[in-house]
Structure 1
Amino acid sequence: MLKALTRIFGKGEEARPAPVAELPAVERPAASAESQDKPTRSPRADHKASKPPRSDKPKADKPPRQTPAASPKAEWKPEDFQVEPEEGKTRFHDFALDPRLMHAIHDLGFTYCTPIQAQVLGHTLKGRDAIGRAQTGTGKTAAFLVSIITQLLITPPPKERYMGEPRALIIAPTRELVVQIAKDAAALTKYTKLNVMSFVGGMDFDKQLKQLEEKYCDILVATPGRLLDFNQRGEVHLDMVEVMVLDEADRMLDMGFIPQVRQIIRQTPYKGERQTLLFSATFTDDVMNLAKQWTVDPAIVEIEPENVASDTVEQHVYAVAGSDKYKLLYNLITQNDWTRVMVFANRKDEVRRIEERLTRDGVSAAQMSGDVPQVKRIKVLEGFREGKIRVLVATDVAGRGIHVDAISHVINFTLPEDPDDYVHRIGRTGRAGTSGTSISFAGEDDAFALPPIEALIGRKIDCEIPPAELLKPVPRHS
């Protein structure tokens, strides 16, 4: 596949570069017009002059942004972050990263790069565009954030700047994924003066707008629809974007977001004047056609999904009648005393019924679906992370983009019809090299979905008959 992809873009994959001694400000190569999607634009100076002045948001009198308060402990030094070289592994030390960024990486406990990080950073830190194929849980978010932060720290911001002009733009398909990326970006920029903002639908527009009135925007993470709202109202201008990331491009295609993404890209500099990174779980023809339109000579990095699906997650399938599924679920959770479990079902009404029955039977549970308001969804996720909620029952709206540590088990109450969704579901456990367990219930209504899943992950999953004690009646609760 890699040879075929490199033929599409006309150049072979370069050998992985040696550790970067110095990272100068990136000069992007000259490029032809962006494709028919890109309208003719005035030079940047003319474009800037055409913007109405925003006297309500002055820059000259703006007080300097505050650096995070220093720790009362001894000042951190790069020497405090020691990671020994290890054969076959790439350290963050092997790239010439800013000490402020390394301090944050140290705080997060990162030592060696994941495969996607090692391969992507070798190209993107030199300013090259990249297309990455990787599932969630492989570390791709940190890969593009490290690259963005490095670029913004090396290159000083322009002297003439409006409040709503992000220097880096990350577009993601779901609200949960945007919130998670923004959270990761805030953790990695904590020792810099870079400001991270996130715009998503379903939350108070004015509260999100207030961010732009208080400080400059360096890194903006947004869903396509809400970003267009801000852009069309003249609150966000995208002509100064230096780095653009499209995360989960295949998901954006499936959800019908590409027309909106095209409108957004029209507002950014030409592809030869910005760095573009595109990530997708699959390399379909549609995804690669978009990549060809929006990137210049991209490096192509592939991380096989089978590594995520099968190496770190122990997978089981129980053959069970539909009428016995709830008994099996309840007994698995209570008899094993599991404390952080995700349960997936295909429909919102199934999710609601499962959550209601678990709550009635004394198991702390909450639901996550498209019917749950965004503000409540954020509270639910925080409760789940903190251990206040024992079981999170969700549709595939939570299948991607939710990163919660120490999820021990994922249970597929109903098998998904799309095999890719199975991989994303079980990827909620066994993350970052830890082990996890997935258990799927195969009943008379959904057992047909198992063979395509096995074909995708490249292995057979034996069906088991649940032991009698796991099918005991659920005790009555007052």
Structure 2
Amino acid sequence: MLKALKKIFSKGEEPAVSVAPTTPHTPASASPTSRARSSTGKSPRNTTAAANKKPAAAREQAPAQEPAKPAKPRRERIPRKPVVDTWKLEDFVVEPAEGKTRFHDFKLSPELMHAIHDLGFPYCTPIQAKVLGFTLNGQDAIGKAQTGTGKTAAFLISTITQLLQTPPPKERYMGEPRALIIAPTRELVVQIANDAADLTKYTGLNVMSFVGGMDFDKQLKLLESRYCDILVATPGRLLDFNQRGEVHLDMVEVLVLDEADRMLDMGFIPQVRQIIRQTPPKSERQTLLFSATFTEDVLNLAKQWTVDPVTVEIEPEQVASDTVEQHVYAVAGSDKYKLLYNLITQNDWSRVMVFANRKDEVRRIEERLTRDGISAVQMSGDVPQHKRIRALEGFREGEIRVMVATDVAGRGIHVDGISHVINFTLPEDPDDYVHRIGRTGRAGASGTSISFAGEDDAFALPPIEELIGRKIHCETPPAELLKPVPRKH
């Protein structure tokens, strides 16, 4: 009876077919950038763990009462017919310029060049020009660069090229990414994943992002619906998937650690170590590590996780951009909110970012602004991820005037047109000051930074001035900016 039932049900089952790439990318031979692999084209793996892995469809269809069976290899992908693309490299004309490196100067695929053309990037930034010369040849790299220098595109272009030049293994499971990018904050993960989606749109590579605070089941369904080529994740959520057996990291060809210094500060390194132990040995993967600072701890991590890495340091021409006008108001702590409210309302500012040091401060400022008729949102670790994404979109679209954030939550936020950054409290770390004011005055536009120096945080000003190499004039706010906040009825 059981055999008969199996026969009947097997006739009605549809074969599991994954979403195929838009454009096949199987070259005649593997790239020299690919690391040493076994003769089967697969990374060395724990055979017991491999036997326990099953494709998503197999997990759903296996009857509960039957003993576990060895996993069957998932069918090789059946590519769709390529989308007819009339774009040609000749459409992307960039004249050579002295002192500048073009993307044309590297051997990048037409699909990737098409995406770069769409994004309007004719020339490389300094870190892109330096890093790509090494990473496109398969070398490990350690990059020192501040936010806004183009480092994200640098490691994405290198990673995408590696995946396009090396054919994917024939035996492959849904939850086996070929490239893994780890970043410390949810916002930064979303930003990197969006940039990756823009750069891969003509390649057929699949990009996924996993962050905490979002529906686990939805992310799991996405993982089970198609192959994952590039996975961008925060350490905690990635470990959730890995420990449940949904994500396996034994086929990772490229590992990227972004903002390693911030991961150290946030205490993520034990989790990152646990993740890296699941990937192939460092001699069989390419590892790229980026950090805004090269502390001894960061360099020790790089030594453990890379093989003969090239080191690229890009020092900003100015620690604080000349496009940002900087002011400091000496004000009592009890008058800070009045000053903030009057600055925004009297000047009719429409896109302002306010920074505070603690999550409870951020919450109180946002609640008071909202109560007093100014549309505001908070961005801190206490806010669920779906609300953070909705808040960021509202701020980006101009529906919300003020975003109040902590340094951790504010890192990785890139919104055009922020006219003013206000430091409600001065940061204890001078580097955070530079990062904060860098949210305005971007892409050549001008911006203004205003810091409130009270009795509790004025001590933080001299180290900031030492870092940026200039004195910031400290002034007393005019009386009209300290008027009482009108009560709302």
- Which TM-score applies when normalising by structure 1? 0.87
Amino acid of the structure 1 residue aligned with 2:355:
F
Paired with 1:27 and 1:97, the residues of 2 have a C-alpha distance of: 15
Unmatched tracts of structure 1, length 5 or more: 1-21, 31-41
Which residue of 2 is the match for residue 292 of structure 1? 303
Residue 456 of structure 2 corresponds to residue 449 of structure 1: no
Amino acid of the structure 2 residue aligned with 1:163:
M
Secondary structure of residue in 1 paired with 2:94: coil
Which residue of 1 is the match for residue 55 of structure 2? 54
Aligned match for 1:153, one of 136, 150, 164: 164
Aligned match for 1:173, one of 184, 187, 192: 184
Segment drifting more, 75-84 vs 147-156: 75-84
Q: CA deviation at 1:352?
A: 1.9
Which residue of 2 is the match for residue 321 of structure 1? 332
Paired with 1:339 and 1:92, the residues of 2 have a C-alpha distance of: 37
CA separation of 1:432 and 1:59: change in aligned 2, threshold 3 A = farther
Segment drifting more, 141-150 vs 319-328: 319-328
Amino acid of the structure 2 residue aligned with 1:341:
V
Q: CA deviation at 1:264?
A: 0.8
CA separation of 1:61 and 1:154: change in aligned 2, threshold 3 A = closer
Instruction: Give matches, 1:294-373, under 5 Å.
Output: 294-305=305-316, 307-373=318-384
Paired with 1:308 and 1:111, the residues of 2 have a C-alpha distance of: 25
Paired with 2:361 and 2:81, the residues of 1 have a C-alpha distance of: 48
Paired with 1:334 and 1:275, the residues of 2 have a C-alpha distance of: 52
Paired with 2:101 and 2:157, the residues of 1 have a C-alpha distance of: 14
Which residue of 1 is the match for residue 224 of structure 2? 213
| Alignment check: 8 A CA contact 2:54 2:173 kept | no
CA separation of 1:65 and 1:184: change in aligned 2, threshold 3 A = farther
Q: CA deviation at 1:76?
A: 2.4
Paired with 1:285 and 1:66, the residues of 2 have a C-alpha distance of: 51
Instruction: Give matches, 1:114-263, under 5 Å.
Output: 114-263=125-274
Paired with 1:91 and 1:317, the residues of 2 have a C-alpha distance of: 41
Secondary structure of residue in 2 paired with 1:216: coil
| Alignment check: 8 A CA contact 1:177 1:400 kept | yes
Instruction: Give matches, 1:98-113, under 5 Å.
Output: 98-113=109-124
Secondary structure of residue in 1 paired with 2:114: helix
Q: CA RMSD in A?
A: 2.4
Segment drifting more, 326-335 vs 171-180: 326-335
Paired with 2:34 and 2:391, the residues of 1 have a C-alpha distance of: 44
Larger Rg: 2
Instruction: Map Cα deviations across residues 126-150 of structure 1 (whole Å, 9 max, x no partner).
Output: 1111101111121111111111111
Amino acid of the structure 2 residue aligned with 1:26:
T
Secondary structure of residue in 2 paired with 1:135: coil
Paired with 1:95 and 1:264, the residues of 2 have a C-alpha distance of: 32
Secondary structure of residue in 1 paired with 2:399: coil
% of aligned pairs identical?
83
Q: CA deviation at 1:306?
A: 6.4
Residue 434 of structure 2 corresponds to residue 423 of structure 1: yes
Amino acid of the structure 2 residue aligned with 1:134:
A
Segment drifting more, 251-260 vs 454-463: 454-463
Aligned match for 1:390, one of 396, 401, 405: 401
Q: CA deviation at 1:165?
A: 0.7
Q: CA deviation at 1:463?
A: 1.1
| Alignment check: 8 A CA contact 1:306 1:458 kept | no
Secondary structure of residue in 1 paired with 2:57: coil
Which residue of 1 is the match for residue 67 of structure 2? none
CA separation of 1:230 and 1:457: change in aligned 2, threshold 3 A = same
| Alignment check: 8 A CA contact 1:134 1:279 kept | yes
Segment drifting more, 453-462 vs 189-198: 453-462
Secondary structure of residue in 2 paired with 1:56: helix
Amino acid of the structure 1 residue aligned with 2:160:
I
CA separation of 1:66 and 1:446: change in aligned 2, threshold 3 A = farther
Amino acid of the structure 1 residue aligned with 2:381:
G
Paired with 2:318 and 2:131, the residues of 1 have a C-alpha distance of: 18
Secondary structure of residue in 1 paired with 2:320: helix
